[in-house]
Amino acid sequence: MTSRRNFIKKAAMGTAALTVGGVLPGFSAKSYSNIVGANDKIRVGAIGVNSRGMALATNFAKQQGCEITRICDVDSRAIAKCITSIEKAASYKPKGEKDLRKMVESKDVDAVIVATPDHWHAPAALYALKAGKEVYLEKPCSYAPAEGEILIQAAAKYGRVLQMGNQRRSWPNVQEGIKALKEGIIGNVHFGKAWYTNNRPSIGIGKEVAVPEWLDWDLWQGPAPRVAFKDNFVHYNWHWFWRWGTGEALNNGTHMIDILRWGMDVDYPTMVNSAGGRYFHKDDWETPDTQVINIEFGKSKSMTWEGRSCNGRSIEGSTVGCMFYGDKGSMLITGSDGYKIFGLDDKVIKEQTSKIAIDPRNLMNPAERLDAYHIQNFFDGIRKSAALNSDITSGHKSTLLMQLGNISQRVGRSLDIDPLNGRIQQDSIAMKLWNRDYEQGWEMKL
């Protein structure tokens, strides 16, 4: 795998040299580019393709120099559907595989996309890293903080590229806005607010039923302790069960809290607390449908995240977004690729918008064309050793802010945090949630 990776880099370098020095004698530019393109091609396997994963796999397939060679899912219907989508997008047919542990060992895979349920994110990424694969890992990068720490160590140990899929880090206008922010366009930023709202329906009371013939329930559970199958677990509702999901805080909150952390130049907090609950329906939903997480960074900066899963009233005219508050004005970044700057008199100083339409409530593919920038950054990390817009260390820090909020919510009190490493101080009960319970034999090991 190391030789294959070096080959891809050398092929990319050869393409750059060709641009400067011309084609070899006897080859047309077109024929030579076809040869280099084949050598430079990154072969990708997609893991977890029922919804978001299928959108990502299809987007990857549309990128020049990429071939989706393997599709992996525990749902046989999802495999078939995704293969069809790839065939339509790229005119070739990838192979299907049920067990990701087998897929990551495939010789025709250089990199993998991980878009599984949250409880599988870090273990799947670790399997891939240990197999010598590069990894594009959807947010959150981990189910529990300890897993994020392991991934940081694993990326360094195995020398692989590991990018988290908080795609707004690569959106051009968002990058422009953050650059202006850091250059002081609204002065010293001391407070940030992020939010997400929706009108999600009840998931009802589940009944134990036979596992559908199209689903490998044991493999779907994977590293999580086993329970009997119920008819309201799969596919999307797992987000709202603590056994597998991390609630709205990490489902959608991670994106915008990451932008706040990026723009405010902060790493680990000093205090986190959370208030909220399951207020709107009497059903099996366990995580909060209404939640406010407050985060302090010493005495100089703080931020907050508000999540309302069952009341879609917008904030600042958007269902998802964040606002930076400085001593000279404010900056708004919503779910679109743009920003708006206000003076202290609340008048708009500047507005940058994108012509690319985005639907932040689309569960599968809200921003395909913009997400391609993040995919290309991942490819550049592989081919050119380019800096990642969201490496695993950065991704872990943003994920951790929301994980600490959930831990505070579950233990019912504020948490004092060590600003040097993000760990909870003097609270042994809360620290029990730093890691998670695993099904025996499925523990993460470097």
**Confidence (pLDDT) at 25:** 37
Q: Which of 12-16, 82-86, 240-244, 296-300 has the lowest mean pLDDT?
A: 12-16
pLDDT of residue 7: 59
Query: How many CA atoms, within 13 angstroms, populate the side-chain half-sphere of residue 322?
Result: 27
pLDDT of the residue at 29: 38
Tell which wins on pLDDT, 305 or 22: 305
Least confident of 28-32, 269-273, 423-427, 428-432: 28-32
pLDDT at 358: 64
pLDDT at 361 over 80: no
Q: Please state, rounded to an integer, the average pLDDT across all residues of the chain.
A: 92
At 386, is the pLDDT very low, low, confident or very high (cuts 50, 70, 90)?
very high
CATH architecture of 2-168: 3-Layer(aba) Sandwich (3.40)
The model carries a pTM of 0.91
pLDDT at residue 33 tops 70: no
Tell me the pLDDT tens digit for each residue of 201-241: 999 999 999 999 999 999 999 999 999 999 999 999 999 99
pLDDT of residue 335: 87
Confidence of residue 12 (pLDDT cuts 50, 70, 90): low
**CA 370 – CA 336 distance, rounded (Å):** 10
| Predicted confidence band of residue 10 (pLDDT cuts 50, 70, 90) | low
Position 21 confidence tier, pLDDT thresholds 50, 70, 90: very low
Quote the pLDDT of residue 26: 40
At the topology level, CATH places domain 172-362+405-434 in Dihydrodipicolinate Reductase; domain 2 (3.30.360)
Q: What average pLDDT does the segment 396-411 reach?
A: 98
pLDDT tens, position by position, 274-333: 999 999 999 999 999 999 999 999 999 999 999 999 999 999 999 999 999 999 999 999
> How much is the pLDDT for 337?
93
Domain residue ranges in the chain: 2-168, 172-362+405-434
Q: For residue 18, what pLDDT band results from cuts at 50, 70 and 90? A: very low
2-168 shares its CATH topology with 172-362+405-434: no
Contact 222, 100 (CB under 8 A): no
